Amino acid sequence: MTHRSFLMFILPSLAAMILFIALPLVSVVVQSLHIEHEQVLKVTENCGPFGCKEETTVDAEATAALRAEKPIGRFNGLGTYFDRGHLAIEDVATAWAERTSLSGFFSDLYNLPLYKAIAFTITYTVVVTPLTILLGLMIALGVNRVTPILKGPTIFVSLLPMIVTPLIGSLILFWMIDAQGIIGKSLQFIFDDPELSLKASPPLTWITLMTYGVWHSAPFAFVVFYAGLQTVNTDTLEAARIDGADRWQQVRYVIIPHLMPLVVFISLIQLMDNFRVFEPIVGFSAEANATSLSYIIYSDLRGDTMRFNSAAATSVLTVLGVIVLLLPVLIRTWRDFKGKVV
Amino acid sequence: MANSARKGPSSLTIFSTAFVLLWIVIASFPFLWTLWGSFKVQGDFFSKADWRYALNGTRTLVETGGQFTGAGYAGAWIEQEFWRAALNTTIVVFFTVVISLTLGTLGGYALARSGYNYAFWLLMIALVFRAMPHITLVSGYLLPFFQWNLWGHLPTTIIVLVAINQPFTLWMLHSFFLNIPKDLDESAMVDGCTQFQAFRYVIIPVMWPGVITTGLFSFLLAYNDFIVTAMLLSRDNQTMVPAIAGFLGSTFEEGNVMFAVAAVVSTTAPLFVLVMFFQRQIVSGLTAGAVKG
């Protein structure tokens, strides 16, 4: 294909991506370097019977005019990045200097909004991704063994948790784990604790969110693994059996190596998706006990005062996080590509 | 492994079957329970006294005189005007899918047929773009959209969803086009077609299976989106998912929860139908990226 016709074909798609993905990223960076204008103050002289006093008041009109004229605010450099709502270097330095123990330092750190969000986002990503792969593999191996009549319905049912809107899926579970919902009531009965509530404590909320995450993503891993299982080389399996491999050894030394490329693929997709965990936090109303990076950007952008600059700074930090996450993949692909060329 | 010679010990088969049945319950019970409960009153859906109320509909019988009630649905669809949100969703989803696929087929075809390095780099950039959390992009749009008075309208949201959808659509269609033999369009061009004519008369007639599969995923992305629609649409133009989130603002007002439950069931129903009819395409789409890419 000539350069010219390539350009003609790709242009609409490329233009959409540049305008609405690349430029917004630039916009985020620019916004994060600015901060809202300070209020315009005016000094008026107020004269009464006991002499004159100077009074400083906020000139609301001038402030509004200034903000309307230059909505992006004034240049602030990296100020927003280092303030208390973001990297909070001062607070971190104080916490480090005054630490009594390492865990004390981390609990101080956890009180800062950004670090709290990072803690949850990373824990969620690191816990949910492997569990998803494991559960998906188990379901795939299970479905592969059951009678053919069951296979179709299982695949149909399995797709549901994945395909349903994440907000809706989490709401459905949220209602069920409510202290008066069926799962919540059952748990109270099982643990013999009428006060038990999954919403009350941070650890329980974290566990709930991660359970939801696995429930939501396991079907994806299952479907991919199931397709992979259909292409396992039967001769190799046969040979392993003749050599005396038991069931577990067949899975461990024949099937899992065969599925390895799929594990890499699923991990990649899951890391990307889990890192932006957001909807479950809204669905489970879990923001008091668990916030993610996406959630704190969202909460900056809603409400009466939208803090664009604060949201933008968090966004830039999040994007950097995504790039760090993808770096191994990108480097590997680049090496493969170089290898092909040379 | 249906081959009888390879049938393992029956205990393993029993264990597998039990595990699969357990998974079926875990995957489907929440939906069945919510569907059932949506026809009850709040006192049964959240059983304060006895969980069996939800099955018997004890409170529902007391409050409405019947075992089942459509009060939640009436409240959501008529009183809270959920039909408006449903209409908006239909518009947004339809145009997002059509535009996404149009741009995506052209781009995906070009990427599959170009042997130059930049095609590879474009795919890599698309991968990075796919990983961007959508909320970071939204925080880039908001201020300019407010300034240029673009905020709140359906077309703005449609274009944004199309763009966010592009990286994924490009990847998927690219791998589908790689599967269509190159000889087809090359022989057309030997016969004197231009590149576009080859695409129009040779590729378009055979590309539909791939396009339909990709379309399903574009549909899901647009239909399931919460972040973009919640942040970029004004109240009048809201789609279904943010509208449900809106119901929750006044959640613990008696009865309002049932509006949300009814709305949730109404929103899930089309997805059920979709899976029923397109199960094969969805499965092949999920595996396409893994097996070929």
Q: What is the DSSP string of A287-325?
A: TTT---HHHHHHHHHSSSS--HHHHHHHHHHHHHHHHHH
Give the one of B23, B135, B241 whose C-beta lies nearest to A167's C-beta: B241
- Two tokens, residue A265: 């693929």
User: Is residue B1 over pLDDT 70?
Assistant: no
Give the one of B111, B140, B159 whose C-beta lies nearest to A25's C-beta: B140
**Overall domain count for chain A:** 3
Same domain for B209 and B66, yes or no, is: no
Same domain for A266 and A249, yes or no, is: yes
Residue B258 and residue A334: Cα distance in Å, rounded?
Answer: 53
Confidence of residue B252 (pLDDT cuts 50, 70, 90): low
Residue labelled with tokens 């991660």: A210
Same domain for B40 and B90, yes or no, is: no
Residue A184 and residue A179: Cα distance in Å, rounded?
Answer: 5
Same domain for A102 and A184, yes or no, is: no
Same domain for B267 and B151, yes or no, is: yes
B221: Cβ contacts below 8 Å, ≥ 6 apart: B96, B161, B164, B165, B168
Q: Which of A111, A131, A165 is the last residue of a domain?
A: A111
Q: Which of A22, A51, A74 is the last residue of a domain?
A: A74
| pLDDT score, position A338 | 75
**Overall domain count for chain B:** 2
Of the segments A162-166, A326-330, B8-12, B59-63, which one has the largest average pLDDT value? Answer: A162-166
| pLDDT score, position B32 | 92
Interface test with B, best of A72, A129, A167 (most B CBs within 10 A): A167
Q: Distance (Å) from the C-alpha of residue A191 to the closest C-alpha of chain B?
A: 17
Residue A30 falls within a domain, yes or no? no
Confidence of residue B49 (pLDDT cuts 50, 70, 90): low
Phi-psi region of A277 (alpha: psi -120 to 50; beta: other; left: phi over 0): beta
| pLDDT score, position B5 | 44
Same domain for A190 and A324, yes or no, is: yes
- Two tokens, residue A236: 């190799």
| pLDDT score, position B159 | 94
Same domain for B154 and B268, yes or no, is: yes
Residue A129 falls within a domain, yes or no? yes
Interface test with B, best of A8, A10, A11, A262 (most B CBs within 10 A): A10
Same domain for B32 and B55, yes or no, is: yes
Of the segments A174-178, B88-92, B109-113, B208-212, which one has the largest average pLDDT value? Answer: B88-92
Same domain for B100 and B70, yes or no, is: no
Residue A7 falls within a domain, yes or no? no
Same domain for A181 and A326, yes or no, is: yes
| pLDDT score, position B255 | 58
Same domain for B188 and B262, yes or no, is: yes
User: What ipTM was assigned to the predicted interfaces of this complex?
Assistant: 0.88
Residue B80 and residue B239: Cα distance in Å, rounded?
Answer: 13
| Phi and psi angles of residue B3, each rounded to the nearest 5 degrees, phi first | -50, 125
What average pLDDT does the structure give for chain B?
86
Same domain for B166 and B218, yes or no, is: yes
Q: pLDDT tens digits, chain A, 342 residues: what are they? A: 788 889 999 999 999 999 999 999 999 999 999 888 887 888 877 777 777 777 777 888 887 888 777 777 888 888 888 888 888 888 888 888 888 888 888 888 888 899 999 999 999 999 999 999 999 999 999 998 888 888 888 889 999 999 999 999 999 999 888 877 888 888 888 888 887 888 778 899 999 999 999 999 999 999 999 988 888 888 888 899 899 888 888 888 888 998 888 898 899 889 999 999 999 999 898 888 899 999 999 999 887 778 888 899 999 999 999 999 888 888 887 887 777 655
Mean pLDDT, rounded, for B198-210 = 90
> For residue A34, what is the enclosing H or E element?
strand A34-35
Same domain for B136 and B187, yes or no, is: yes
Q: Is there a contact between B148 and B212 (Cβ–Cβ < 8 Å)? A: no
| pLDDT score, position B105 | 95
Instruction: Mark yes or no for CB contact A301/B31 under 8 Å.
Output: no
Q: Which string of b and e fits B31-63 if b means at least 16 CB within 10 Å?
A: bebbbbbbbbbbbbbbbeeebebbeebbbbbeb
* Residue B164 or B4, more confident: B164
A-chain CB neighbours of B54 within 8 Å are 182
The one-letter amino acid code at A273 reads D
CATH number for the domain that contains residue A297: 1.10.3720.10
- Two tokens, residue B45: 């859906």
Phi-psi region of B204 (alpha: psi -120 to 50; beta: other; left: phi over 0): alpha
Same domain for A212 and A326, yes or no, is: yes
Same domain for B155 and B65, yes or no, is: no
Same domain for A224 and A254, yes or no, is: yes
CATH number for the domain that contains residue B254: 1.10.3720.10
Give the one of A19, A308, A319 whose C-beta lies nearest to B142's C-beta: A308
Residue A138 and residue A152: Cα distance in Å, rounded?
Answer: 17
Q: Is there a contact between B109 and B173 (Cβ–Cβ < 8 Å)? A: yes
| pLDDT score, position A216 | 95
Give the one of A72, A154, A266 whose C-beta lies nearest to B24's C-beta: A154
Quote the domain boundaries for residue A103: 78-111
User: Is residue B3 over pLDDT 50?
Assistant: no
Mean pLDDT, rounded, for B200-229 = 92
User: Is residue B104 over pLDDT 60?
Assistant: yes
**Lowest-confidence pick of A109-118, A317-326, B251-260, B264-273:** B251-260
Mean pLDDT, rounded, for B196-225 = 91
- Two tokens, residue B259: 């509006």
Q: State the count of interchain CB pairs (< 8 A) between A and B.
A: 298
Closest-CA residue to A83 (of A71, A75, A74, A92): A92
Closest-CA residue to B246 (of B76, B35, B38): B76
Quote the domain boundaries for residue B35: 4-74
Residue A260 and residue A117: Cα distance in Å, rounded?
Answer: 32
| pLDDT score, position A173 | 92
Closest-CA residue to A295 (of A323, A314, A273): A314
Interface test with A, best of B135, B256, B271 (most A CBs within 10 A): B135
Same domain for A226 and A318, yes or no, is: yes
